[in-house]
Structure 1
Amino acid sequence: MQRELRPWPALWALVIGFFMILVDSTIVSVANPAIMRGLDADLTAVLWVTSAYLLAYAVPLLITGRLGDRFGPKNIYLIGLVIFTLASLWCGFSGDIETLILARVVQGLGAALMTPQTMAVITRIFPPNQRGAAMGLWGAVAGIATLVGPILGGVLVDSLGWEWIFIVNVPVGVIAFVLALRLVPKLETHQHSFDWLGVVLSAVGMFLVIFGIQEGETYDWGTITGPITVWGLIITGLVVLAAFVVWQRYNRKEPLLPLSLFRDRNFSLANGGITLVGLAIVAMPLPLTFYFQVARGLEPTQSALMLAPMAVVAGVMAPIIGRLTDRVDPKWIAAVGFAITAASLAAMSLLITPDVELWVLLIPAAGLGLGTSGIWAPLASTATRNLPPAQAGAGSGVYNMTRQVGSVFGAAAITALLNARLEANLPGFSESGAQSSQAGQALPPQIAAGFTDAMSQALWLPVVAFALGAVLVLFFAKPKQTVAWGEQQASQPDAAGSPATGSLSAVD
């Protein structure tokens, strides 16, 4: 029995959960100083709270996209939502930094099950000439969530305590579950084999590289134990990742990473662009948060409000940009968005000093919102425009995986860079200074200058990432003229090789 699809209610139900998991990618940044004090943790340990989540989020994305194809995106989304919500409660009741990191790993696994299903549903239930608007909503949610995270985190830390940045997910998760259960349709499934060797190779390779980068400063980029060195871990990880790619090339069954998808120029470039976005979006809030709270002595809520113009401008502009992507060549929108974001963040880096008037920093913050609103939707719509329905899960899994890989590397790289610049500007401060600083108290002038310089220098990592993105998207090919939805669906073979039907319907 089939029933007519209602694409927009289904999408709204899905993006509530999607918003929640993306907020958790950045909400911890503003709470880091409070977590350090509350759990008696050092800087590197508390940054693992974010990195562990991102790593557990990124590694399974390739296979969770396939799980959605095989067992239905609705079923996998709901399972992931339950895991994520329960893990959020566990995070809130963690009594030490090790337990919190472990709970964040489980939370990341739940997020990995949920995320690919949102893009897969968009690709399968919206006709090509409406995907720009749908991806505009998806992109708006993605962009706003990563900016709202620090703001919401600041309010919760000040009013209820850092634990509530996780506990607040519980009622949201319940609402998201009920709405998804009622509004998201069951879609046709496709048979897939699962590349378990690929899962192992990708997981081991990424963990070794990320651990090496993030912990390098801790071990002075030398020996960890016995013959194991930091650089040995990183090189081994890169070799394992290379072996993973080779295995994907020669796997005669069904590879975890379908390299054939990258024959499409726009899909490849969009994945490169979203990797840079993932890196920069995660790297950007950390130096700013430490500058506002540690160097300037702002409360978490005050610190978060310094980033409010980003969320407000992005929230207003993202839906407009989404509609434009169906009418204007996406590369020009994305290129301008990347360029404005890079310029605004560069201005922020140059402006932050121990005594700059704080209102001045609201101007580049608004520029960041304007720029990022022009990035998410054009990239997503370009990546998915040519995906056939049978590859929707695989393609969305790859796209979200590359974004999360960028986020993981961004978290690791900004951790290493922050530690290195603090050690260069304030020797010894990176180990204890941020931990011992008191909320609401600015650093002494003789220390604030060096600390501010370190934060300013670290901001150039996301600046460079956004600038590279502006160049990359200029190589997008002009989108092809879209055909009627029924014609396109009829011309696309399903997993068994037979033409798919052109009707918009769901399996009841």
Structure 2
Amino acid sequence: MDKRISVPVKREKMAYKWVVLWVVLFGVFMSLLDQTIVSIAIPRLQHAFDASVENIQWVVTAYILTLGIFTPVVAFLSRRFGIKRIYILSLVAFTLSSALCGWAWDLPSLICFRILQGIGGAALFPLANALLLRVFPPEQRGLAMGFYAIPSILAPALGPTLGGYLITYADWPSIFFINVPIGLLAVFLSVKFLRELDVQKDLPFDLLGFVLVAIGLGLVFYTLSDASTVGWGSFEILSLLAVGCMALAVFVGIELRRERNHLQPLLHLSLFRNGPFLFSMLATVFLTVRLQGATFLFPLYLQESLGQTALQAGLMLLPYALASGVASLIGGRLVDRLGARAVILLGVVLLIVCTWQLTFIALDSPFWWLQTLLIVQGLALGLCYQPLIVTATAEVAPQRMALATTMNTLTRSLSSSLGIAMVATLVQIQSQVHSVQLTKSGQQAASSVASLSFVLALQDAFLLLTVVTVLALIAVLFIRGRRKQLL
């Protein structure tokens, strides 16, 4: 009789983790798809609202700023009110604000609704990670992260294609309305299938820490987003960046002191005392800078230098997306068999070779060569990203998983802004430098100077990204393979 009782319980538990996986995939896919679709729609939005570049960029900047401000509070909210409850509320907020964005009547209203989107989107990625890592045992996390990586990499790759199609054959509101059916399905599945985890009703809120990190991250995100247009040397950028960094420095000191005094901090910075977590986060920073930098540069190159339309440029990224998905699945299985460190090393080495090859990009680069490099890039990133989450959380106790995944999301958001700001500024400066040099040499016709100087600046940018990827390799080498006691 005992056997009859124990068998269905085991099967039910084994089934639930896969239910969680498929449920959270919808929310993650929707959140990441929205970011890339909106980016490619900026020129259309500028025309629709008759806005300047400085004003229209707030459609993207407002969302990024809101994510940066509200992501640190996600771990507290999930522990105080429950991961399931906060995850569903985030889905509802994101879906509703997406519909409001599509109904926006002017630019200020669109920016306000994008802020609401950022509040909802701040919790989706870290809580999806936390839900998965709580229900999958350590020996199966590689496989789970492999499946989970598919929308994480497919969405940014498919975004330009889908966005280009919607902009070409529909109007700009469609890029926001497309989130509504996905969001409603995600809400339904989450309400029906997810279970609530432990709730700490007496957990105090670190108000001072939240104020400091909101000011610090808000100013840092703003300066990183605005530096490429205003200029890194401007007084506004330097002063705001200094204030933001000072606020973050005070925040770090206060949070560490709260932990020493056994008070509840907003973010558990003591996680960085653990080697695998620290070096996994460092590798994530460098890889995200590389990914977002290249993601920013490639559409510019395909459209500005090779004359492709937004739809054609998006279609060019499809093989890259498929390669990322395949590598994520294979990489997940390899992680469980060989260990995450070996899989990540293979991916980073492939990415170094790919990025170095892109330093030879030219005005007449053959499409087969570009497509090959994009596929290699997809394979490499598929082997890197989700295994890094496995190594980062390998020694984290289940009850602190939301804290660790929140830190991971915050790290990736900061790195994304940094990567885009770095390459945008470098390309802008180096284009002017090469333009002056080409004009003085007199070897190029005036009509081709701008195009050639832009491509030479892209070569410089990819050289910088090659160095960044080598730094990621160094960080991965310091990740130990054996697990120690849970934090």
Structure-2 residue corresponding to 1:384: 393
The superposition leaves residues 399-419 of structure 1 with CA deviations (integer Å, 9 ceiling, x where unpaired) of: 222112212322333443344
Decide whether aligned partners of structure 1 residues 268 and 285 sit closer, same or farther in structure 2, where only a CA change above 3 A counts: same
Q: Distance in 2 between matches of 1:414 and 1:52?
A: 21
Deviating more after overlay: 185-194 vs 81-90: 185-194
Q: Which of 169, 192, 198 matches 1:182? A: 192
For residue 417 of structure 1, what is the amino acid of its counterpart?
Answer: L
In the aligned structure 1, how far is the partner of 2:54 from the partner of 2:90?
28
Per the normalisation by structure 2, the TM-score is: 0.87
Distance 2:207 2:253 in 1: 15
Moved more, 381-390 or 213-222: 213-222
Gap change, CA 1:132 and 1:213, over 3 Å in 2:
closer
Q: Which amino acid aligns with 2:365?
A: V
Correspondence for 1:321: 331
Provide the secondary structure at the position in 2 that maps to 1:375.
helix
Residue pair 1:57, 1:112 contacting (<8 A) in 2 also: yes
Q: What pairs with 1:52-451 in structure 2 (closer than 5 Å)?
A: 52-191=62-201, 192-216=203-227, 218-221=229-232, 229-251=236-258, 252=261, 253-351=263-361, 353-425=362-434, 445-451=448-454
Deviates more, 1:417-426 or 1:11-20: 417-426
Q: Give yes or no for the alignment of 1:33 onto 2:43.
A: yes
Match of 1:453 among 443, 451, 456: 456
Q: Secondary structure at the match of 2:101?
A: helix
Question: Is the alpha carbon distance of 1:51 and 1:454 closer, same or farther for their aligned partners in structure 2, counting shifts above 3 Å?
Answer: farther
Deviations 1:109-142 (A, max 9, x none): 1111222211211222122222221122223332
Q: 1:331 to 1:45 in 2, by over 3 A?
A: farther
Gaps of 5+ in 1: 428-442, 482-487, 494-508
Cα deviation 1:202-236 (Å, max 9, x = unaligned): 12112223333443454454555xxxx43222222
Q: Deviations over 1:346-365 (max 9, x none)?
A: 323422x2333333311111
Tell whether the 8 Å contact from 1:143 to 1:376 is kept in structure 2 after alignment.
no
Quote how far apart the aligned CAs of 1:423 are: 4.5
What's the RMSD between the two structures over aligned residues?
2.6
RCO comparison, higher one (Cα < 8 Å, 6+): 1
**Alpha-carbon deviation of 1:248?**
0.8
CA distance in 2, matches of 1:388, 1:43: 46
Partner secondary structure for residue 336 of structure 1: helix
**SS of residue paired to 1:172:** helix
Q: Is 1:475 paired with 2:481?
A: no
Determine if contact 2:327/2:380 at 8 Å carries over to the other structure.
Answer: no
* Partner Cα separation in structure 2 for residue 339 and residue 45 of structure 1: 40
Matched residues in 1 for 2:111 and 2:424: separation? 16
Q: Is the partner of 2:163 in helix, strand or coil?
A: helix
Secondary structure of 1:60's counterpart equals helix
Q: Whole-Å Cα distance in 1 between the matches of residues 52 and 305 of structure 2? A: 17
Pair 1:422–1:446, CA change in 2 (3 A): closer
Query: For the residues of structure 2 that align with 1:474 and 1:275, how far apart are their CA atoms?
Result: 15
Could you tell me whether the CA contact under 8 Å between 1:330 and 1:379 is conserved in 2? Answer: yes
In the alignment, which residue of structure 2 is the partner of 1:502?
none
Greater CA drift, 58-67 or 246-255: 58-67
Deviates most, 142-151 or 305-314:
142-151
Q: Is the 8 Å Cα contact of residues 54 and 407 (structure 1) preserved in structure 2?
A: no
Over 3 Å counting, the alpha-carbon distance change for 1:108 and 1:414 in structure 2 is farther
Unpaired stretches in structure 2, ≥5 consecutive residues: 1-8, 437-445
Change in Cα spacing, 1:235 to 1:354, as seen in structure 2 (3 Å) is same
Q: For 1:288-342, what per-residue CA distance to the aligned partner results, in whole angstroms no more than 9, with x for missing partners? A: 1122223332111101122222101111121110111111131221122122123
| Cα distance, 1:179 vs structure 2 | 1.2
Cα deviation, 1:38-92, whole Å, max 9, x if unaligned, reads 4444445444433332332233222212211221111111110111112222333
Mapped partners of 1:146, 1:362: distance in 2: 17
Once the two structures are superposed, residues 180-222 of structure 1 have per-residue CA deviations (whole angstroms, 9 ceiling, x without a partner) of: 1112112222343221211221121122233334434544545
Are 2:33 and 1:23 aligned? yes
Q: Is this contact kept in 1: 2:34–2:179, CA < 8 A?
A: no
Maintained 8 Å contact 1:30/1:154: yes
Structure 1: distance between partners of 2:267 and 2:36: 27
Amino acid at match of 2:279: L
Distance in 2 between residues matched to 1:100 and 1:452, nearest whole Å: 34
Q: Hey, which bits of structure 1, 4+ residues long, moved more than 6 A? A: none
Gap change, CA 1:296 and 1:97, over 3 Å in 2: farther
One-letter code of the match for 1:12?
W
Identity value in percent:
32
The match for 1:497 is none
Counterpart secondary structure, 1:479: coil
Matched, 1:465 2:468: yes
CA contact (8 A) 2:142 2:340 kept: no
Q: 1: distance between equivalents of 2:411 and 2:482? A: 22
Residue aligned with 1:138, SS: helix
1:51/1:412 contact within 8 Å kept: no
Please tell me whether the aligned partners of residues 154 and 324 of structure 2 are also in contact (alpha carbons under 8 angstroms).
yes
- Indicate the SS of the match to 2:338: coil
- Amino acid in the other structure paired with 1:404: S
Closer/same/farther in 2, CA of residues 396 and 219 from structure 1, 3 Å limit: closer
Q: Separation in 1 of the partners of 2:394 and 2:290? A: 25
Displacement after TM superposition at 1:269 (Å): 1.2
Task: State how far apart, in whole Å, the 1-side matches of 2:60 and 2:349 are.
Answer: 27
Q: Identify, as 1 or 2, the structure richer in helix.
A: 2
